[in-house]
């Protein structure tokens, strides 16, 4: 098994909201949308910056068009931390 490639960018700011594109089925259930991105493989469309999430709307629309599923952009306000390494 090959070693995973780890992308570890520097932290820029405290994240207050997480933005996620999710599919919406006929019963109102949701699932995280992912896409294959060059050099990154299968990547969930989840972001910590609103501006970046909004720039991904055309990609999310393409996914919706290809799959025939409804896709929405959702914002989640940070609540509380559930786990941290080393503790």
pLDDT digits (tens, 9 = 90+) for 61-78: 999 999 999 999 999 998
Residue 11 lies in a domain: no
Q: Decide if 12 is inside a domain.
A: no
> Is position 43 within any domain?
yes
Instruction: Indicate whether 2 belongs to any domain.
Output: no
CA distance 42 to 86: 28
Among residues 34, 29, 30, 86, the alpha carbon closest in space to that of 60 is found at 34
Whether 71 maps to a domain, the answer reads: yes
pLDDT above 90: residue 79: no
Residue 67 confidence (pLDDT): 92
Q: What is the pTM of this model?
A: 0.79
Task: Judge whether 48 lies within some domain.
Answer: yes
Domain count of the chain?
1
* Owning domain of residue 64: 17-77
Longest dimension (CA), the chain: 44
Q: Which of 40 and 63 is assigned the larger pLDDT?
A: 63
């Amino acid at each position: 098994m090959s070693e995973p490639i780890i992308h570890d960018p520097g932290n820029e700011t405290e994240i207050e909201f997480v933005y996620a594109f999710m599919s919406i089925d006929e019963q109102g259930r949701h699932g995280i949308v992912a896409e294959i991105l060059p050099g990154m493989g299968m990547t969930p469309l989840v972001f910590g910056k609103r501006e970046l999430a909004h720039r991904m709307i055309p990609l999310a629309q393409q996914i919706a068009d290809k799959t025939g599923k409804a896709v929405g952009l959702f914002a989640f306000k940070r609540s509380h931390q559930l786990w941290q390494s080393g503790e």
